[in-house]
Chains A and B, each alone.
Chain A
Amino acid sequence: MENLSWLREGKSLIGKYQGEITMEITQDFKQQVEKTLEREQADFLILDLSEVSFMDSSGIGFLVACNTRMQSSGKALVLYRPSSQVRKTLGLVQLMSHFDVADTQDELSLRLGV
């Protein structure tokens, strides 16, 4: 996936995606996350969603799946700086509070305990 970039920082794996998260790409996105997590063995998966211009319900499904996967292995998913479009879609299904969200670098550092 061209518009997905990964960065490793300590125990966290940071994935930044630019563009639309829709049915067209969620399968692919999910596989990329699985593959990268297997390779990197991170405690925190941080998804930088600041440049996501649109997200549909399959995007919600994808985030829920990531969250479940991380929690079941005793790890955590943090949504970092979700764009207003992402907030709206998550807000519609009242899932904003279901996710751990960090809106600033400080908030993120607090979550990661660094």
Chain B
Amino acid sequence: MLEKSEEVRVLLVDDSKTALRLLTYILEQHYKLCVAEDGQEAIAAHGAFHPDVIILDMNLPIKSGLEVMDHIRNVAQDHDVQIVMLTAHDTMGFKATAFHAGANDFLAKPFDREELLARVGAAARQVSLTRQLRQAYDRISQEIDLVAGLQRRLLPSCTPISDKAAVDCFYRPSGRASGDYYDFFTLPDGTLRVVMADVSGHGARAAFLMAVVRTLMRVSQTHYLTLTETFSLVNTHLLSTIWEEPDFVSILGLDIAPGQKSITYINAGHCPALFHQEGQVQELMPNAAVLGFFTQEFVPAVLTLVEPASLFLFTDGWYEWRDKDQGIYGLERFQELARKLFLESRFSLEALGQGLEDDAGIKPVFLDDVTALWVRLGRPRRLVFQGVSSPGNSRKLARQVVAAVGQWVGDADTLHDLDIMVTEACANVSRHAYGEGLGLIEVRLSVTPERSADVQVVDWGKGFGKDINFEKPSPESECGRGMFIIQKLSDICDMESRDGQNILHMVKKIRKNLWKT
């Protein structure tokens, strides 16, 4: 039975005033009513009155009953309202058409009072059930939101750890609560511990297990456990809680000791992280099975570390999505893309996202949680940044150059010079190189410690044009100062065009005492 608070609103639609009066007379004691006399009015009343049930005559002027239904179901996207069609043609063919168009029930004209009340009553019960379902769904949904909110707080935010180490994070849960977990923290002896894990499944169950894993990982920080001890602890706990359940956890944990020239890692069934140093990219392959299935011994692997180096840890969501041909994008293709970006000195999580889109020819629609950590150790000497030639990107590219050189040079004035030089150079590309359109700007930075920062700003369009002017314009001129400024701030500034590239090459010499040690 419906409770009193659950008022049911019924819209009556019929072009016959007599029929409307009769319907009103029978139903007004039980329901809140609204009436409409043609199809157009019915659509307007649907929008204003928000009925739960519509008694809809099929033969209406202006817009037919079928058109009204089409509007409600397909334009207004109301799939909840119960539509009881009312017609004298009760041929099978017509009924089938009306049911296909979205009718829920049928009442033949002339109708019987008891049958009318029974059919509207059935529709009202359906309305009540839908409401209850929705309330239950909302409650569960709120709970999941709370879990997701708490879970988000368990993940660290990414800030530079020191002048010589930084971590960038990417986290995009597929549902609201997720099974992916990443972490990084410093152990009492200064070792940087980095963790990437993936709990099987999604939703609240995966989020719960993720929290268990996270707690145990953090115990390893406070109790100063080795990687081997930590993995054994996590595995033992998981076995005691989810043994005989299908859930499992893949984890990659690695330790980077301060000043030590090595990386220690255990990869328990997680997709291999990539390790980039000295012009080479290697994979941190699994050396243990996933956790939560059986007891096992963990033996860490050790790799030599030569700075500058960087590590890219990720979860399978990055490559398990469907490309244009509906095939899975795949780990190999993904690794190849990441490897290429590393070797071209232009790896970043943003460049990786863009690279996926360019490679697949579509924007990826990720099916699973997508998580990544990019750990940078030491200061790279060569970096490449790219962007589309928009005014906003000129500043963004300049800031990226300044941040990279800022790892080497502490002098604010020198960094400000570079900021202006790169902004002006990129702004010139976005004004001139691609006419009215947009194109690619690439900024190649090369740092020679204690000597200089070399920056090349490259476009594949028309370059800076023939009428490029290095002269100082008159004081009243409102433009044309960019090149003059670049020339004043740089020690060497030249331009060349080769292989379709237009390269503006700028060198800023930086005095020895301005370099960070």
Contact = CB atoms under 8 A, between A and B. Distances in A.
Contacts of A108: none
A88 B427 contact: no
A93 B485 contact: yes
A85 interface: yes
A94 B420 contact: no
Nearest to A62: B478
Nearest to B412: A84
B395 interface: yes
Interface in A56-95: 56-58, 60-62, 64-65, 68, 85, 88-89, 92-95
Contact of A92 (B394, B423, B485): B485
Contacts of A4: none
B420 A93 contact: no
B416 interface: yes
A58 B423 CA distance: 11
Interface in B468-507: 472-473, 475-479, 481-482, 484-485, 488-489
A22 B423 contact: yes
A97 to B, nearest CB: 9
B424 interface: yes
Interface residues of B, number: 25
Nearest to A88: B416
Main secondary structure of the interface of A (DSSP, over half): helix
Main secondary structure of the interface of B (DSSP, over half): helix
Interface in B384-410: 391-392, 394-395
Nearest to B475: A98
Given A23-B391, A23-B427, A92-B489, A57 B419 contact: no
Given A23-B394, A94-B472, A95-B475, A61 B481 contact: yes
Contacts, number: 63
Contacts of B481: 57, 60-61, 93
Contacts of A68: 476, 478
A22 B416 contact: no
Contacts of A98: 475
A68 B474 CA distance: 13
Contacts of A56: 420, 423-424, 427, 482
Contacts of B419: 54
Given A93-B472, A93-B485, A20 B395 contact: yes
A106 interface: no
Interface of A: 20, 22-24, 54, 56-58, 60-62, 64-65, 68, 85, 88-89, 92-95, 98
Given A57-B427, A64-B477, 14 more contacts: A20-B395, A22-B391, A22-B394, A22-B427, A24-B392, A54-B420, A57-B485, A58-B427, A61-B478, A64-B478, A68-B478, A89-B420, A93-B473, A93-B481
23 contacts: A22-B395, A23-B394, A23-B431, A24-B395, A54-B395, A54-B416, A56-B420, A56-B482, A57-B424, A57-B427, A57-B481, A58-B427, A61-B479, A64-B476, A68-B478, A89-B485, A92-B484, A92-B489, A93-B473, A93-B481, A93-B485, A94-B472, A95-B475
